[in-house]
Amino acid sequence: KEEAKEEAKKEEEAKEEKEEEEAEEEEPEATEEELGKVFATMACTVEGDEEETISKDEFVNFVRVFMKVSKETVITSDLSIKESQTIRRLDVGEIVEVIKGPVEEGAVQVQRVMAKVLKDELTGWITVSGSQGTTFLEEGGSVFRVIVETILTETFALNGMPQNGEEAKKMLNPRKLRVGEIVEVREWFKKEEQSGLIRMRCRCRADGAWGWVTIVGNQGTVFLQVV
């Protein structure tokens, strides 16, 4: 009797596991209305064209994968840790863009990715998590929070010329970014040579507004911080 009960219990557990797997596999497809809403948040209208479009560059920005360093580690020249040379150390908070992976490094059985460090554009291999469970990279890096009030502008250069009357109006009355607002990276930060400001193009989660924002001022003031 005990054996029969044990067998019945195992069959029930196996049935439940199968049902859970099937439920995970049968994810509902997005409806046309839901897809339309997603497209609306991504698209922009090209001047002189009534149809909304997504440029190739903007589409690529949506599928880029970023990770942030959660524990100090190193970036190396090859997938194999043993055969690699250390390029440099990575500090906590640095952001990398994943190019390839994760790939298991067979010799030590750790997950590694080929990535580009956005700070200095160095490319190499980084361990995501160690064999003892230590996490060196975690998802994120493309979402920022405003920590000092600033403004969103239409052009990369602060003295950029507007293309039309509407843009001129926006330049005269730029949208303010309040402390605590969340923005998503659409074009990674770079230095504006004339002013010395570090700026990036982003999209505001609150209202979908797009524009350029200063991350770090020329006196070292940090306006936005990675979430």
In a structure prediction context, what are the per-residue pLDDT tens digits for the chain, which is 227 residues long? 566 667 767 777 776 666 655 544 545 666 767 666 666 655 554 444 555 566 655 665 567 788 999 999 999 999 998 889 999 999 998 889 899 989 998 878 899 999 998 778 899 999 999 888 899 999 888 889 999 999 999 888 877 545 555 555 555 678 899 999 999 988 887 888 888 888 999 999 998 898 999 998 888 888 998 88
* pTM, rounded to two decimals: 0.58
User: What does the pLDDT read at residue 146?
Assistant: 95
Q: What is the pLDDT of residue 179?
A: 95
Q: What is the pLDDT of residue 2?
A: 60
Cα–Cα nearest to 76, from 134, 142, 136: 136
What is the reported pLDDT for 24?
45
Under 8 Å between Cβ of 84 and 98: no
Backbone φ and ψ of 224, nearest 5°? -130, 145
| Beta-carbon contacts of residue 72 (< 8 Å; ≥ 6 apart) | 89, 90, 91, 92
The CA-based dihedral angle spanning residues 14, 19, 20, 24, taken in that order and rounded to the nearest 10 degrees: 140
Tell me what pLDDT residue 66 has. 86
Residue 124 near residue 76, CB atoms below 8 Å: yes
Tell me, what's the pLDDT at 29?
66
Q: How far is CA 18 from CA 9, 121, 124, 150, in A?
A: 14, 45, 40, 52
Q: What is the model's pLDDT at position 61?
A: 59
- The predicted pLDDT at position 48 comes to 47
- Dist CA 122 CA 95 (whole Å): 11
Burial of 4 (0-12, 13-18, 19+ CB in 10 A): exposed
pLDDT at position 33 = 72
Given this model, what pLDDT does residue 42 score? 57
Angle, vertex CA 173, rays to CA 172 and CA 176, nearest 5: 135
Q: What per-residue confidence (pLDDT) applies to 43?
A: 58
User: Do the beta carbons of residue 28 and residue 106 sit within 8 Å?
Assistant: no
Per DSSP, the three-state class of 187 is: strand
Bridge partners of 110, per DSSP, are: 105
Count Cα neighbours of 226 within 13 Å in the Cβ-side half-sphere: 19
